[in-house]
Amino acid sequence: MKVLIVEDEVRLAMALQQILTEAGYEVQTVYHGTDGLCAAMRQEYDLILLDVMLPGKDGFTIAAELRRQRIKTPILMLTAKDTVPDKVLGLDAGADDYMTKPFANEELLARIRALTRRQTSAVPEELSFGDLTYRTGNASLVCNGKEVRLNYKESEIIKLLLSYSQFILSKDEIISKVWGYDSDTSDNNVEAYISFLRKKLHFLDSRVSIIAIKKQGYKLEYNPC
């Protein structure tokens, strides 16, 4: 689970980062509103912890802009202001939940769990093709009784290939879905991750392979014998 923290109070940001890291989340922290918006648009996160009063762009503006760009990452807004109009403004802008500082760590973690559960419930627990199964819960590939863990990008790419196993996926499609539509990631990066995935399929002795179709893209292929 990847969390983006956008918070300009450095001590609070560091405390949040520590709480979430200890709870097992992968955390990225930025201290400026504009950086927060850029990060949220460039990368896919499972949750954004968004302060309201920020330099550059405030939290309401960031939430509204992300929703306008159809980025649906759950947003938990953090603010020192405890007034009803602010809460309404945050939720109207596209935030999913709201917490007023100071807050208890347990409550923060519970709300994060609730928001990320809501999002992941739509994702199937397993995706399968041929002798290969991807398990969403622990981001692993399973085959022949063997299991191998995948990193975030490998997971996103194999999920795409498994979800659209009857289609050829172009490098551009993979880049826009995994890195974001305005990413400047190169084709080489896609090739590198495909090569990591191939090594893992080889390790699993899977009969599924990722085949490259010249000038078109990638597709999964299953050779049962």
- What tokens does 84 get? 């009803």
Nearer Cβ to Ca ion (10/211): 10
Taking the complex as a whole, how short is the minimal distance between the CB of residue 50 and Ca ion, in angstroms? 10
Rounded distance between C-alpha atoms, residue 62 and residue 52, angstroms: 9
Taking the complex as a whole, how short is the minimal distance between the CB of residue 51 and Ca ion, in angstroms? 4
Q: Which residue is nearest to Ca ion (CB)?
A: 53
Taking the complex as a whole, how short is the minimal distance between the CB of residue 39 and Ca ion, in angstroms? 16
Closest of 122, 106, 113 to residue 76, by C-alpha: 113
Nearer Cβ to Ca ion (102/145): 102
Taking the complex as a whole, how short is the minimal distance between the CB of residue 59 and Ca ion, in angstroms? 8
Nearer Cβ to Ca ion (56/180): 56
Closest of 144, 160, 148 to residue 206, by C-alpha: 144
CA quadruple 22, 152, 147, 123: dihedral positive or negative?
positive
Nearer Cβ to Ca ion (23/53): 53
Binding site for Ca ion (CB under 5 A): 8, 51, 53
Using a 10 angstrom Cβ sphere, with 0-12 exposed, 13-18 middle and 19 or more buried, the burial of residue 225 is exposed
Taking the complex as a whole, how short is the minimal distance between the CB of residue 6 and Ca ion, in angstroms? 9
Nearer Cβ to Ca ion (53/210): 53
Closest of 67, 73, 173 to residue 120, by C-alpha: 73
